[in-house]
A and B are shown apart, each in its own frame.
Chain A
Amino acid sequence: QPVLTQPPSASGTPGQRVTISCSGTSSNIGGNVVNWYRQLPGTAPQLLIYNNNQRPSGVPDRFSGSKSGTSASLAISGLQSEDEAEYYCAAWDDGLNCVLFGGGTRLTVL
């Protein structure tokens, strides 16, 4: 069972700003960086945000990440239809000595 908690779903209309939360503990998010991955339907996940708030080359600045304490958030502004995807947070857990993924949030653009 995923130890990082995400809402199962989120939605917004084109142009809106949407945020997706990721909640953990001091063993994972509280003490380590958070990465976010986007998985478009039928494809492999892709790195979207790393080190809490850094964007890999090619990722638009509409995507931003933040972290505070044992929680992290992914924000998507100027929502577009092609943003419909599953979004996963991930972090290292010092207690379990492993990578944890959140359960994923399915974003729907209405």
Chain B
Amino acid sequence: QLQLQESGPGLVKPSETLSLSCTVSGGSVARRNYYWGWIRQPPGKGLEWIGNIYHDGTTYYNPSLKSRVTIFVDTSKKQLFLRLNSVTAGDTAVFYCAWGTYRHLFDYWGQGTLVTVSS
């Protein structure tokens, strides 16, 4: 059973860069082809996919966020990273990292971390 844990600052100033990390533990990540992903949920709203990264480094991004997003991994440390540039109040959300065996599928989720964009 995989466990994922997001971490990062809970408050980011407008126009700055939001940086989060996600650490996976348990399970046998390295023995299977897999995807890691980030999903966000503004307060009181629905889920929005941010992007995925395949175990070989191939990335897929939400077209609406693509110009501002970078997702990368440190496989040796079983860590996933998210960078979102030029944030505004509209980027305030709970950010979830997730792991799955297909690019469209999220088998395991982290508990989420709230990031507020405010000066």
Chain A residues close to B by CB (< 8 Å)? 2, 32-33, 35, 37, 43-47, 50, 56, 86, 88, 90-92, 96-104
Contacts and interface: CB of A to CB of B under 8 A. Distances in A.
Contact of A44 (B37, B60, B96): B96
B103 A99 contact: yes
Nearest to A86: B46
Interface of B: 37, 39, 46-49, 52, 60-63, 96, 103-112
B107 A98 contact: no
5 contacts: A90-B47, A92-B104, A99-B49, A101-B49, A104-B46
Nearest to A92: B104
Contact of B47 (A33, A45, A96): A45
Which DSSP category, helix, strand, loop or mixed, fits chain A's interface?
A: strand
Nearest to B37: A99
B63 A96 contact: yes
A97 B60 contact: yes
Contact of A47 (B49, B62, B96, B107): B107
B48 A101 contact: yes
Nearest to A99: B49
A96 B109 CA distance: 24
